[in-house]
Amino acid sequence: MSSLILPAVLSGLTMGAVYALVALGLTLIYGVLHIINFAHGSLLMLALYAAYFLFVHMGLDPYLAIPILLPVFFCLGYVLQRWVIAPMSGGSEQNVLLVTLALALIIDNLALYFWTSNTRSVDIPYAYNTVEFLGAYLPLGRVIAFFAALAAAPLLWLFMTRTRTGSAIRAVAIEKRGAEIVGIDVNHTYAICFGIGTACVALAACLLLPTFYVTPQVGYTFVLVAFTTVVLGGMGSLPGALIAGLLLGVIESLCGLFLGESLGQIGIFTAFILILLFKPSGLLGRRAA
Amino acid sequence: MTFTLNRRGLLKASGAAALVSGLSMPSILRAQGQTVKIGVLEPLTGNLAYNGTQCAAGAKFAADAINAAGGIKSMGGAQIELVVVDAQSRPEIAASAVDTLAEAGVVAFTGASASALGLASSQAAAKYDLAQVFSIGTAETIVERGLPNVFRFTPGVNKCTSVALENLKQLNAAAGNPVKTAAIVHEDGPFGSNMAKIMAEQLPQQGIEVVETISHPTPHRDFNNIALRVKASGANILIPSNYLNEYTLMARALRQQRAELMAIYSILGGAASNIKFVRENNDVAQYVMDCNHWYDPNKPESKALAASVAQAGLDLTYDVMVSYATIQVIADALERGASTDRKAMIETLAASTYDGSIMPYGPTKFVNGDNVNSQPVNTQIRGEEIELVFPEEYATAEPVFPVPQEG
């Protein structure tokens, strides 16, 4: 068993990177705008289908689909927030919750109706390629996702802290009325933030597709862990989401190895409860962007 | 809201499957002249929608073929009308859908893709004296409740496991007994856990030591650790019992972790007898063997079904096959009984000795509702096809066991 610990840790890190990628968009939307986006998993599923169909019908590699799907999903997120979620919720956080839940139900059932519950996966030439590191074989797709997460989190953090749009988002998150008084278009800023969060979901989907499958229910496989990641990392903290994602991946992997795969998720939720008890603001919550 | 659809039109739509999935109320496929109604209770939405829609399509192909051949001759050529209802992958809905079938006046019904759904629906059907001919329902509880309206045409989990292990024994013996150790990977629900328990008891009796048993939840996101453990165990073969999504991830992880196995030998494998798995994961799918429900591909009706399925653009899965066969069984009972009385139908089915179905079974013989002459067969993925490799009398290809090692 001891010989499996290092490979399990490395495997957990690469899986955790996927969790972090899914959580990046959520931490922006959930953490910064305080929108509990129940449709996050559904949007992930939608992005996975989009990448899948681009592969099947146009032969476009999921990684090459990133430049296409990022702007498309940014626009989708912008439209959803600006013309669906905001008007329907009327500024009430409880209503936002219901609207995003309704969106999730609609998206999921439309996917089920049009694409059926059939499982789909892509057969790409490098599907079984691995990277050998310290004697462990790491799936190439997951290694790419790992480095993508390492790059995406700081880039987003820089965007949030060093650009005018990022400052506007943070200003709106801290004091909406004040931001409005100084001339920030609050509705536009909210929509921009939601759009960026949705674009992050598209990035996660493109990086996930080479190593995973697509079904209308696939979003739920990741969304609960993504919420846990956001809370563990500190709501709104992009570096926190990255660290928390990696941490949860390793915890889950080691718990699976020592307690059995059926109990692997115990580690995730134990960590979740502990952080709520002893550091409710999350690992990097106080330094939130 | 009731949808009335033209039978051929619906079939062409492939249909079929995707369309009915949107309907929560029965769709009645009408034909001309005298008709007899047969229910199809399947999960057309929810987690089991893929299996349910495939089963519904299989039932339609069967009804179409029987009607085209002149319908139920003893009833003046009565045409079969299918009343399709959606169990929504939920047992309570499966139970309430039986009311809809009874009100629609079906003489019997087929279903329901999963044991949990079938247990609920057959219990509800008992109060109507309505026969349920199970398409798929492997849990032994189904035939252990003493319900007279239950008829399980396909084999249950006990028979599937014992036949699979007996077939494995013969394959191993024919190869000179190279397999000495096995690893079991199973989903942690009743299906996988029960099967793992039976295998852990029976494999040592065949001289095969179980060196690793790993359970996992469904869904499960990462199979790398499992692949590592299988590899570290040094097992000669892997016996998995899990569903399609997990099977796919597991097969990929095994390849990535360079696990060297003499065979992957599934029992009721979620993917190993699924042509989609073969298409989308062709490389890792090669030589995977499965002991599962499958038709006799050499029968003319089977060949006609395969052609119809291909024409409709559907996948030919065992769901299609078994559902087709259950409609055949009900049609045979109608032919012999010449009655739409429900109690008479139960009696006729109980006395069935039908041997004309597309399945590789002997004459039907229901003992306490269980068809004792049913049997699973071994399939193996070869190239782009799923071949039947065992027993020899139905085989379309020779089994390859153990699999050739790469390099």
**What are the boundaries of each domain within chain A?**
2-122+133-287
| In-domain check, residue B131 | yes
Q: Kindly state whether residues B342 and B369 are assigned to the same domain.
A: yes
Contact state of A116 with B49 under an 8 Å Cβ cutoff: yes
Contacts of residue A94, defined as CB under 8 A and 6 or more positions apart, other chains included, come to none
What does the alpha-carbon distance between residue B78 and residue B71 come to, in Å, rounded to a whole number? 5
What does the alpha-carbon distance between residue A241 and residue A284 come to, in Å, rounded to a whole number? 9
For residue B401, what are the CA distances in angstroms to A124, B281, B385, B392?
28, 20, 17, 14
Q: Kindly state whether residues B219 and B163 are assigned to the same domain.
A: yes
DSSP string, A35-82: ---TTHHHHHHHHHHHHHHHHHHH---TTTTHHHHHHHHHHHHHHHII
Least CA distance to B251: which residue of chain A? A128
pLDDT digits over A239-249, tens only? 999 999 999 99
Strands (E) in chain A, as ranges, are: 130-133, 136-139
Of the candidate CATH numbers 1.20.58, 1.25.40, 3.40.50, 1.10.3470, the domain formed by A2-122+133-287 belongs to 1.10.3470
- pLDDT at position B33 is 64
| In-domain check, residue B178 | yes
- pLDDT at position B22 is 39
Give A-chain residues touching B21 at CB under 8 angstroms.
112-113, 116
Q: Kindly state whether residues B130 and B194 are assigned to the same domain.
A: no
pLDDT digits over A114-150, tens only? 887 778 889 888 888 999 998 899 999 999 999 999 9
Angle at B17 between CA B13 and CA B19, to 5 degrees: 65
Q: Kindly state whether residues B246 and B382 are assigned to the same domain.
A: yes
Q: Kindly state whether residues B262 and B321 are assigned to the same domain.
A: no
Domain that includes residue B271, residue range: 158-292+378-394
Percent pLDDT > 90 in chain A is 65
Question: Taking CB atoms and an 8 Å cut-off, how many pairs form between chains A and B?
Answer: 104
Q: Kindly state whether residues B242 and B390 are assigned to the same domain.
A: yes
| In-domain check, residue B388 | yes
Give A-chain residues touching B280 at CB under 8 angstroms.
120-123
- pLDDT at position B273 is 84
Contact state of A262 with B232 under an 8 Å Cβ cutoff: no
Q: Kindly state whether residues B168 and B105 are assigned to the same domain.
A: no
Option in B47, B248, B279 nearest A213 (CB): B248
Q: Kindly state whether residues B35 and B146 are assigned to the same domain.
A: yes
Give B-chain residues touching A120 at CB under 8 angstroms.
276, 280
Percent pLDDT > 70 in chain A is 98
What does the alpha-carbon distance between residue B282 and residue B260 come to, in Å, rounded to a whole number? 18
Packing angle, helices A40-58 and A218-233, rounded to 10: 130
What does the alpha-carbon distance between residue B203 and residue B216 come to, in Å, rounded to a whole number? 21
Q: Kindly state whether residues B287 and B301 are assigned to the same domain.
A: no
Contact state of B228 with A7 under an 8 Å Cβ cutoff: yes
Q: Kindly state whether residues B176 and B287 are assigned to the same domain.
A: yes
Contact state of B217 with A120 under an 8 Å Cβ cutoff: no
Chain B residues contacting A via beta carbons under 8 Å: 17-18, 21-22, 45-50, 53, 188, 214-217, 219-222, 224-226, 228-229, 232, 244-245, 248-249, 252-253, 255-258, 276, 279-284
Option in B21, B49, B225 nearest A253 (CB): B225
**Interface test mutation site (partner A, options B224, B252, B283, B314, max chain A beta carbons within 10 A):** B224
Option in A3, A215, A257 nearest B245 (CB): A215
Option in A4, A114, A221 nearest B229 (CB): A4
pLDDT digits over A261-273, tens only? 888 888 888 988 8
Contact state of B252 with A117 under an 8 Å Cβ cutoff: no
Q: Kindly state whether residues B135 and B243 are assigned to the same domain.
A: no
Contact state of A221 with B219 under an 8 Å Cβ cutoff: yes
Contact state of A116 with B220 under an 8 Å Cβ cutoff: no
According to DSSP, residue B406 is labeled P
Task: Report the number of distinct structural domains present in chain B.
Answer: 2
Query: Nearest to residue B262, comparing CAs of B289, B281, B293?
Result: B289
Option in B215, B244, B283 nearest A128 (CB): B283
Option in B232, B244, B252 nearest A4 (CB): B232
φ/ψ of B46, rounded to 5, equals: 90, -170
- pLDDT at position B406 is 65
B111 neighbors B121 (Cβ within 8 angstroms): yes
Tens of each residue's pLDDT in chain B, 407 residues: 333 334 443 334 334 333 333 344 444 444 446 899 999 999 988 778 888 999 999 999 999 999 999 999 999 999 999 999 999 888 999 999 999 999 999 999 998 888 889 999 999 999 999 999 998 888 889 999 999 999 999 999 889 999 999 999 999 999 999 999 999 999 887 778 888 888 999 999 999 999 999 999 888 889 999 999 999 999 999 999 888 888 989 999 999 999 999 999 999 887 888 888 898 888 889 999 999 999 999 999 999 999 999 999 999 999 999 999 999 999 999 999 999 999 999 999 999 999 999 999 999 999 999 999 999 999 999 999 999 998 999 999 999 999 987 64
B169 neighbors B225 (Cβ within 8 angstroms): no
Contact state of A256 with B225 under an 8 Å Cβ cutoff: yes
Distance between alpha carbon B264 and the CA centroid of its chain, in Å?
20
Longest CA–CA separation in chain A, Å: 61
Angle at A124 between CA A118 and CA A127, to 5 degrees: 95
Query: Nearest to residue B251, comparing CAs of A139, A14, A250?
Result: A139
Which CATH number characterizes residue B35's domain?
3.40.50.2300
| In-domain check, residue B316 | yes
| In-domain check, residue B399 | no
Q: Kindly state whether residues B119 and B235 are assigned to the same domain.
A: no
Contact state of B222 with A137 under an 8 Å Cβ cutoff: no
Would an 8 Å CB–CB cutoff place A130 in contact with chain B? yes
| In-domain check, residue B345 | yes
Give B-chain residues touching A267 at CB under 8 angstroms.
none
| In-domain check, residue B401 | no
Please determine, for residue A176, whether its predicted confidence score (pLDDT) is greater than 50.
yes
Would an 8 Å CB–CB cutoff place A281 in contact with chain B? no
Least CA distance to A122: which residue of chain B? B280
Give A-chain residues touching B229 at CB under 8 angstroms.
4, 257
Contact state of A122 with B280 under an 8 Å Cβ cutoff: yes
Contact state of A261 with B215 under an 8 Å Cβ cutoff: yes
| In-domain check, residue B407 | no
